[in-house]
């Protein structure tokens, strides 16, 4: 929705004539960028024309500026497998049920999100690639890694673990949202499929 339409809708919701209110705003701020560059005096002059509604609009503009500048916090860097492995151990290595988590990465390979995708039984999780890629795309992530725990303490991946991870890697390449690694963690250690060359897809 164009900004002018949003402004009209704002005033209409407040019981004002949206078209007239927009015309008044554009008299004070002809261009969108004028709202970013407004001086204190310009804001006060505008507010004086319609104190409650115009002040509410400018508060909304300020809120929008802060939201636009907001970024996800960087939890850790994923350039080194051991950093992710040890972090994942602390998060889920001790849990009695299997969990599958996704680490969402930005362009600098910083982890900008750590989300639990599935919680399973004592022996397995039911995982869907759709949910994993939805999380990555929603976060505008450059790529991702997956992590799941083995409550049994057996660190080695099963054939199903490897096949699922290879499938995600292939889908990631096709969607240009690459999966960079797949980890298994227990209470005592971690296993990186990338380090152990298990993500190579044989066609």
Per-residue pLDDT tens over the stretch 65-93: 888 777 776 777 777 888 899 999 999 99
Torsion 183-90-98-188 (CA) sign = positive
Higher pLDDT, 124 or 101: 101
pLDDT at 193: 93
Burial class (CB in 10 A: 0-12, 13-18, 19+), 76: middle
Claim: this prediction has a pTM higher than 0.85: no
Per-residue pLDDT tens over the stretch 137-169: 999 999 999 999 999 999 999 898 999 999 999
Least confident of 16-20, 69-73, 156-160, 173-177: 69-73
pLDDT for residue 124 is more than 70: no
pLDDT at 36: 87
pLDDT at 181: 94
pLDDT at 58: 92
Dist. CA 133–CA 33, nearest whole Å = 35
pLDDT at 100: 93
Segment 32-55 shows an average pLDDT of 91
């Amino acid at each position: 929705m164009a900004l002018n339409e949003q402004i009209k809708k704002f005033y209409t919701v407040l019981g004002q004539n949206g078209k007239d209110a927009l015309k008044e705003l554009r008299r004070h701020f002809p261009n969108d960028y004028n709202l970013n560059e407004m001086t204190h005096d310009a804001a006060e002059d505008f507010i004086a024309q319609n104190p409650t509604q115009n002040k509410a609009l400018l508060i909304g503009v300020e809120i929008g500026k802060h939201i636009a500048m907001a970024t996800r916090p960087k939890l850790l860097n994923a350039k080194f497998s051991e950093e992710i492995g040890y972090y994942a151990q602390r998060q889920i290595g001790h849990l009695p049920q299997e969990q599958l988590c996704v680490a969402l990465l930005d362009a600098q390979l910083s982890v900008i999100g750590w989300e639990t995708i599935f919680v399973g039984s004592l022996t397995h999780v039911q995982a869907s690639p759709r949910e994993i890629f939805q999380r990555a795309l929603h976060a505008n992530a450059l790529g991702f890694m997956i992590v799941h725990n083995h409550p049994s303490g057996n660190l080695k991946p099963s054939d199903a673990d490897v096949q699922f991870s290879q499938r995600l890697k292939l889908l990631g390449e096709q969607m240009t949202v690459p999966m960079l690694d797949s980890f298994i963690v227990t209470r005592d250690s971690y296993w990186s499929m990338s380090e152990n060359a298990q993500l190579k897809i044989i066609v």
